[in-house]
């Protein structure tokens, strides 16, 4: 289907092409009624501004943004490192915006976008999404690349990893070395990666005639303290528990701490596996079997894709996938 043009929007709204362009780019010399009429026509026709047209209208600052919920996530600095490296190589400065102050942080970011201080953004979006970010991208043509969020909000170009395949591989490994009574410590159901990893675990176990007991699948906020408590709950619910699958390495570290406090030997009594391969995973006692999530490479790929979009490239038809890798260490092998 051919892209709807600004000329078609202008004709539908009964204004000149220049007026339509100014209305869609929030120029102050356009009346509110005209802006409303032009935007209504754009919505009706399905008009999406091209990134190159937006760049020409706004001017380029050669600056990209990174929008993240928090820097506390253990792999966040790897993502940031990949983005920063690629941005610098492409001649772009990087502006970091967290959402620690909620709406205030978001309003600050939107002001920077509206003042033409940022040419595009790589985002790790919080659960529930950000209506403002979608408005900037879909209605105004602002270039956005999402990291690891291709299922719940497919409107954005994205860079993702093989969550389901990675979970399948680690669960298959555990089953192949003797797992029978398996507990799972996962995260919120509305987190896309949690759903993908859950599908991977279940598929691998089902293919090996193993079934997860639903009372042994516990949801947490994925913090180490909650994982610690959840591990105690798993031990009380299943006296013969022999395996714990953790949705992330911080969760697995909480499990290891509880098992150590209870005098449970790893991996002799209970095997443990995580996901992410954060630096602490290799330093755990015993070192943690996990799935390496290529966060640095994902950051590089996201920045490279964003720069292409800022330059006017067409959005990709699907996510750019950077594969995971199973890392087997002593926490799962006897």
CB atoms under 10 Å from CB of 275, counted, come to 27
Tell me the domain boundaries of the chain.
Answer: 6-47, 57-161+296-324, 163-293
- pLDDT at residue number 1: 47
Span 57-161+296-324: which CATH code? 3.40.50.2300
The pLDDT tens digits of the residues spanning 74-110 come to: 788 899 999 999 999 999 999 888 887 777 777 778 7
- pLDDT at residue number 219: 97
CB atoms under 10 Å from CB of 124, counted, come to 19
Q: Residue 51 — very low, low, confident or very high, per pLDDT cuts 50/70/90?
A: low
Would you mind telling me the total number of residues written for the chain in this entry?
334
The top-level CATH class assigned to 6-47 is mainly alpha
The pLDDT tens digits of the residues spanning 111-123 come to: 777 777 788 999 8
- pLDDT at residue number 298: 95
The pTM of the whole model exceeds 0.95:
no
Q: Hey, do 6-47 and 57-161+296-324 end up sharing a CATH topology, with the first three levels equal?
A: no
Q: Measured between alpha carbons, how far is 188 from 190 in angstroms, rounded to an integer? A: 6
Q: Which of 68, 264, 271, 294 is nearest to 182 (CA)?
A: 271
More confident residue, 21 or 58: 21
Superfamily the domain 163-293 falls into: Response regulator (3.40.50.2300)
**What does the DSSP assignment read for 209-254?**
T----GGGEEE--S-HHHHHHHHHHHHHH-TT--EEEESSHHHHHH
Spatial CB neighbours of 195, under 8 Å, sequence gap ≥ 6: 151, 189
Q: Measured between alpha carbons, how far is 319 from 150 in angstroms, rounded to an integer? A: 7
The mean-pLDDT minimum among 47-51, 136-140, 173-177, 276-280 falls in 47-51
Is pLDDT of 57 > 80? no
Q: Measured between alpha carbons, how far is 272 from 177 in angstroms, rounded to an integer? A: 12
The pLDDT tens digits of the residues spanning 26-38 come to: 666 778 888 888 8
């Amino acid at each position: 289907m051919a892209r709807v043009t600004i000329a078609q929007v202008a004709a539908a709204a009964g204004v000149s092409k220049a007026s339509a362009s100014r209305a869609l780019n929030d120029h102050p010399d356009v009346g509110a009624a005209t802006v409303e009429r032009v935007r209504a026509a754009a919505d009706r026709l399905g008009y999406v501004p091209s990134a190159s047209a937006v760049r020409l209208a706004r001017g380029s600052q050669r600056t990209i943004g990174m929008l993240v919920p928090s820097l506390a996530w253990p792999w966040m600095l790897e993502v940031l490192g990949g983005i920063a490296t690629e941005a610098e190589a492409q001649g772009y400065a990087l502006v970091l915006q967290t959402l620690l102050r909620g709406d205030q942080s978001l309003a600050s970011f939107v002001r920077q976008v509206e003042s033409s201080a940022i040419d595009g953004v790589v985002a790790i979006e919080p659960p529930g999404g950000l209506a403002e970010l979608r408005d900037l991208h879909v209605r105004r043509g602002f270039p956005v690349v999402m990291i690891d969020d291709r299922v719940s909000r497919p409107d954005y170009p994205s860079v993702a990893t093989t969550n389901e395949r990675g979970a399948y591989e680690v669960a298959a490994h555990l089953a192949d070395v003797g797992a029978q009574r398996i507990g799972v410590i996962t995260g919120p159901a509305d987190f896309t990666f949690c759903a993908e990893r859950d599908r991977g675990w279940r598929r691998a176990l089902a293919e090996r005639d193993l079934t997860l007991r639903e009372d042994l699948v516990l949801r947490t906020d994925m913090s180490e303290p909650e994982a610690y408590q959840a591990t105690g709950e798993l031990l009380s619910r299943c006296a013969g528990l022999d395996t714990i699958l953790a949705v992330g390495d911080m969760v697995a570290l909480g499990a290891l701490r509880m098992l150590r406090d209870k005098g449970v030997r790893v991996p002799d009594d209970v095997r443990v596996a995580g996901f992410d391969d954060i630096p602490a995973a290799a330093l755990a006692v015993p070192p943690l079997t996990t799935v390496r999530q290529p966060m640095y490479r994902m950051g590089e790929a996201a920045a490279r894709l964003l720069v292409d979009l800022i330059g006017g490239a067409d959005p990709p038809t699907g996510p750019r996938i950077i594969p995971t890798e199973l890392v087997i260490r002593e926490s799962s092998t006897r």
